[in-house]
Structure 1
Amino acid sequence: MKEVHVAVAVAVVNEAEVLIAKRPDDKHQGGLWEFPGGKVEFGETVTAALVRELDEEVALSTAESNMTELMQIPFEYPDKKVFLDVYWVEVGVNDALLAHGAEGQEVRWVKAHQLADFQFPAANQPILDAIIQRLS
C-alpha cells in the first residue's frame, strides 16, 4: 500500500483560534473536517509545501519563519497509508481575515474548545489533543 506524505498546518491566530476546512464529499475521508495542507511534492520541503498549500487551498499567506514543527503521525486507514508532517503556523490577524475556501470548501476559525463539535479523520486525533493542551 502506497504511503502519502502530507504537510498539515495548525494555523492559529492570536493563540486563540484555529483554521479548519471541510473535506469535499467525493475525496478520501470526505465530509470530515481537517487542518489545511496537502501532499508534499517530490523535492519539496514540508514547510515549502505548507506555504504553497495554504495559499492554494485557503488563500492564507504565510512564511516558513512562522512555522514550528509540532509532530509527525504515521497512520494506516483500511484503504490508504498517510504520513502527516504537522506544523504550528502563527497567522497574523489581517491574513486570517482574508482566508477563505479557495477551492470552494467551507472553512472556519474556531476556538480550541469548539473542535470537539466537529468530526475529523481518525489520523487527526493526536493533533486535536496537542491543540487542546497548548491552547487551554
Structure 2
Amino acid sequence: MSIPPAASKVVIHVAAGIVNDTKGRVLIAKRPEAAHQGGLWEFPGGKLESGESVEQGLRRELAEELGIQVCVSRPLIRLSHDYRDRRVLLDIHQVLDYQGIPQGREGQPLEWLTPEEMDADRFPAADRPVISALRLPSRYLITGAAPAAPDAFLMHLEQRLARTGVPIVQLRAPWLDTDRYADLARRCAALCRRMGALLLVNCEVELATRLPVDGLHLSEQRLLALDQRPDLGRCLIGASCHDADTLARAATLGLDYALLSPVCPTRSHPESEPLGWKRFAELVDPAPLPVYALGGVGDPDLQIAWRHGAQGVAGISGFWSRSS
C-alpha cells in the first residue's frame, strides 16, 4: 500500500475538551474498535463542521457525546500529527465550567483518571502531548539573584512560594560551583516537597541523576549537545528555546515542555530582540509539546499567553523578584 505524500493527506480538524470532576480527575472516552485508532482512549470531542469555530464545535461535540453544556473554556494546547493516511489538527480546550452529568451517549465507555494515572500508550500518538500539558501547571517560577547565603536564599524561596502559590520551580544558580549547587538543590528539594511544589534543576545531566529532584531543565547549549532524551525515569525534562530549530530539537528528543523567550522586553537582557506575541504564536503552533512564554511576562499575561498557544507563563521577575 502506498503512503500518500504529506501535501495530499486529508487534514481533520478536531476540537476536544478536558472535562474535570470535583476530584480533579479528567474524563476520557474509548474509541470504537472499528474507528481510526480504534480501541484507544481519547479526550472527548470530534471533527469540526464546515464554518464552525473551535468553541462552537467543542460545545456541539460535548453535547452530542456526553450530554453536557460547555459554559466556559480556554485553549490548553494545539497540536498537529501526521498518521500514515491523514493529518490531525487538534485544538484542545480546558473546560472551566459546564452543566450536566457526563454520560456516554453514543455507547462509548468512559473513565475518570488523574493526569498522573494516564498511560500514554493507551492513547493515540496525537493525544500524548496533551497528557504532558495536563501534568504541567500554568505558572513556572525561575529562581534569580538573591543573597548568596543558602539560608537567605531558602527563606526567599519559601516566601515566594507561600505568596505566589506557583507549583513548579527551576533552580537557576549559575554563580555556584557544582558542590554548592548540589547542596542548595537538596535543600530546595526538601523545601519544595514540604510546600507542595516540584523542583527542577538547571545543571549537567550527570549531576541531576544524583539529586532528589522532580526534573531537569536544559539550557539551549545542553539541549543542542544531546542526541537523545536523558534517562531520568519519570522526571520532567524541559529546555530553553529561542527559535523554531531549538523547539523542533526539544520535540525530537521527546521533552515534556519548552520555555520560549524572550516574548517581551526584559531588563535582564535588554540587548535581546523580543519575539512579540504574534511571532511567539507562530513558533508555538507547529510545536508538538507544551511551551511556556518567558521574558517580561507574569500573572497578568496568562490570558493573552493562553490565547497565543502557551502552556502558561514562566519568569524570574514575575515570580521571584516581585515584592508583592
Measured in 1, the distance between the counterparts of 2:40 and 2:56 equals 25
Give the match's secondary structure for 1:113: helix
Q: 1:35 aligns with which of 29, 43, 64?
A: 43
Q: CA deviation at 1:15?
A: 6.7
Q: 2:32 aligns with which of 24, 40, 43?
A: 24
Question: In the superposition, relative to structure 1, how do residues 21 and 79 fare at CA in structure 2: closer, same or farther (>3 Å)?
Answer: same
Q: Which 5+ residue runs of structure 1 have no aligned equivalent?
A: none
Which amino acid is 1:119 matched to?
R
1:83 aligns with 2:79: no
Is the 8 Å Cα contact of residues 10 and 36 (structure 1) preserved in structure 2?
A: yes
- Please tell me whether Structure 1 or Structure 2 has the larger radius of gyration of its CA atoms: 2
Measured in 2, the distance between the counterparts of 1:40 and 1:124 equals 17
Which amino acid is 2:84 matched to?
P
Give the match's secondary structure for 1:30: coil
Measured in 2, the distance between the counterparts of 1:117 and 1:2 equals 25
Q: CA deviation at 1:83?
A: 0.4
Measured in 2, the distance between the counterparts of 1:107 and 1:39 equals 19
Q: RCO greater where, 1 or 2, for CA within 8 Å and sep 6 or more? A: 1
Q: Segments of 4+ in structure 1 off by > 6 A? A: none
Give the match's secondary structure for 2:85: coil
Is the 8 Å Cα contact of residues 57 and 103 (structure 1) preserved in structure 2?
A: yes
1:50 aligns with 2:53: no
Measured in 1, the distance between the counterparts of 2:109 and 2:66 equals 10
Question: In the superposition, relative to structure 1, how do residues 76 and 50 fare at CA in structure 2: closer, same or farther (>3 Å)?
Answer: same
- Mapping of 1:50-129 within 5 angstroms? 50-63=58-71, 66-91=72-97, 95=100, 98-116=101-119, 119-129=122-132
Give the match's secondary structure for 1:13: coil
Measured in 2, the distance between the counterparts of 1:91 and 1:107 equals 19
CA deviations on 1:73-97 (whole Å, 9 max, x unpaired) are 01101121100011111245x73xx
Give the match's secondary structure for 2:20: strand
Measured in 2, the distance between the counterparts of 1:111 and 1:25 equals 24
Q: Which 5+ residue runs of structure 2 have no aligned equivalent?
A: 1-8, 139-166, 168-324
Which amino acid is 1:11 matched to?
V
Q: How many residues end up aligned between the 2 structures? A: 131
Question: Comparing 15-24 with 117-126, which one deviates more in the overlay?
Answer: 117-126
Give the match's secondary structure for 1:12: coil
Is the 8 Å Cα contact of residues 13 and 91 (structure 1) preserved in structure 2?
A: no
1:10 aligns with 2:18: yes
Bigger share in strand: 1
Measured in 2, the distance between the counterparts of 1:21 and 1:114 equals 15
Measured in 2, the distance between the counterparts of 1:80 and 1:131 equals 25
CA-based RMSD of the aligned residues comes to 2.0
CA deviations on 1:33-54 (whole Å, 9 max, x unpaired) are 0000001111111011011000
Give the match's secondary structure for 2:117: helix
Measured in 1, the distance between the counterparts of 2:89 and 2:74 equals 17
CA deviations on 1:40-73 (whole Å, 9 max, x unpaired) are 111111011011000101112212xx10111110
Give the structure 1 partner of residue 268 of structure 2.
none
